[in-house]
Structure 1
Amino acid sequence: MKAKKSRKRLNQEGRLHNARKWLSQNYPKNLVQAYCKRYGVSEAQAQWDLLELGYRDDVRIQAYESEGVEWEYQVDGYSGEMKVVPKGTPEWELYLL
């Protein structure tokens, strides 16, 4: 029987490449925890990697929901981007996020 290859030994570049394929096929309920478990990295490193892969909104939404904070999308007046923010955030605070 062949032993499974440990994914913990992947460097950051290999981890990001592998994670991009993994996330396109499977979307776990808790991204950060699933990423930590799969690649053996800290939560902070998992968040940075997921942000780099383009999962910024998903990471924020899951963080807000785990803290029990209601969230919404608002348009940033400076950049025109939609941002995930806590509900009731004034427009002048959007550039801080």
Structure 2
Amino acid sequence: MSIKNIISFDRWLIEQNPNFKTDDTHQNTHNKYTDRSMTTYIRNYLDHPSEDTNLPSSKSRNSPTPEEISQSIENVMKILKNNFQAKKSK
């Protein structure tokens, strides 16, 4: 998956649920883009587990907790239901 696709998907996720943003302890920067949604953060953390040396000292890259992973899955399931399953039933 290209970085442009991940960025587009990340932005779309935030449009769907603006409350599921990353915080100062869940920061990941790649090619000058910082993940905005926890779902993208988790994906990138698992795919690239090394430390992010580009972060300012006030930010960190903590491992996602099981609760955060579970919440991310629930969020994606709600987005799926709200955007795609509703269209099938019409």
- TM-score, length-scaled by structure 2: 0.29
Indicate the structure whose relative CO is greater, using CA pairs within 8 Å and at least 6 residues apart. Answer: 2
Please identify which structure carries the higher strand content: 1
- TM-score, length-scaled by structure 1: 0.28
